[in-house]
């Protein structure tokens, strides 16, 4: 009897932990720590607080994680850097993509749709896009699987998705980041007959909205930061949606462009 009591006591002192819930708690820690910075105009202060909170919590989680996509190299922000090991080093070996705050400008301004996020997958299975700062992205709900293709003109994708969803093109709502680089894209969407919902920041929230059954957006499209691409893809895949992405051309040269296209396209298209 004494032996049984001892075993029970040990069990309660060292309960089994669910990795998914532990990672949720890591995002909660980051979000809570950023609360004092809402509306204070200090986006770097908010990001730094969230990064420190997430990193501190992840150190207590029973897993062996490697940051494949971290935040900071593109934005010169404090970061959970690419290649950093997180967790206790014991338990599941995973790749990790993190963004302690997607929407630091939204947080600093006191606006909505800033979120804290983390994505995990088996070791070696996550796209390593740390040399690719920007990507072209398109996200839809499950109706878009096998229907939309990022290589096609946006108008063609909108018409095909509208047909798949049983909607008129004029009823379609397309989320796009409000950036100068998207002026032609926005014009093409409107020329196709669809409406736009321009987002100041936070394309992850827009992608989730497009992929969710209860979301109001039919599609989220445009060029945005690659660190936000894998977490958004993970959330979309989890809901049965169709995310796609390709490297956006930048100033790094044709040779690197070819190398990155070879790396990005096959791994993003793999189902």
Domain boundaries, the chain: 13-122, 134-269
**Residue partners of 17: CB distance under 8 A and separation at least 6:** 61, 62
Specify the range with the lowest mean pLDDT, choosing from 39-53, 55-69, 138-152, 223-237.
223-237
Neighbours of 217 (CB within 10 A): 25
User: How buried is 103 (Cβ within 10 angstroms: 0-12 exposed, 13-18 middle, 19+ buried)?
Assistant: buried
Of the candidates 37, 53, 181, which has an alpha carbon nearest to the alpha carbon of residue 114?
37
Class of domain 13-122: alpha beta
Cβ-Cβ contacts under 8 Å for 5 (sequence gap 6 or more): none
Classify domain 134-269 by CATH architecture. 3-Layer(aba) Sandwich (3.40)
Structure confidence at residue 258 (pLDDT) = 37
Q: What is the pTM of this model?
A: 0.71
**Predicted confidence (pLDDT) at residue 195 exceeds the cutoff of 70:** yes
Instruction: Answer yes or no: is pLDDT of 270 > 80.
Output: no
pLDDT in tens, 233-256: 554 454 444 455 444 444 333 333
Average pLDDT over residues 100-125: 91
Distance of alpha carbon 264 from alpha carbon 129, whole angstroms: 7
Q: How far is CA 22 from its chain centroid?
A: 18
Residue of 256, 231, 259, 92 lying closest to 245 (CA atoms): 231
């Amino acid at each position: 009897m004494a032996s049984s009591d001892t075993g029970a006591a040990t069990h309660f002192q060292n309960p089994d932990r669910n990795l998914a819930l532990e990672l949720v708690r890591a995002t909660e820690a980051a979000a809570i720590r950023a609360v004092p910075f809402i509306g204070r105009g200090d986006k770097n202060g908010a990001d730094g607080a969230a990064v420190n909170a997430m990193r501190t919590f992840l150190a207590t989680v029973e897993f062996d994680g490697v940051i494949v996509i971290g935040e900071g190299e593109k934005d010169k922000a404090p970061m959970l850097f690419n290649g950093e090991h997180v967790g206790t080093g014991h338990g599941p070996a995973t790749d990790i993509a993190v963004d302690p705050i997607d929407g630091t400008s939204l947080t600093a301004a006191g606006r909505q749709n800033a979120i804290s996020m983390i994505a995990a997958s088996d070791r070696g299975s996550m796209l390593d896009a740390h040399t690719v700062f920007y990507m072209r992205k398109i996200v839809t709900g499950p109706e878009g699987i096998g229907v939309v293709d990022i290589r096609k003109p946006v108008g063609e994708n909108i018409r095909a998705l509208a047909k798949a969803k049983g909607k008129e093109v004029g009823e379609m709502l397309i989320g796009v980041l409000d950036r100068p680089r998207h002026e032609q894209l926005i014009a093409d969407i409107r020329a196709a007959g669809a409406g736009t919902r321009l987002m100041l920041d936070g394309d992850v929230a827009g992608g989730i909205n497009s992929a969710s059954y209860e979301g109001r957006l039919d599609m989220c499209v445009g060029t945005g930061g690659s660190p936000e691409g894998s977490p958004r893809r993970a959330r979309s895949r989890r809901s049965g949606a169709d995310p796609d992405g390709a490297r956006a051309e930048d100033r790094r040269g044709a040779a690197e462009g070819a190398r990155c296209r070879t790396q990005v396209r096959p791994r993003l298209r793999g189902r």
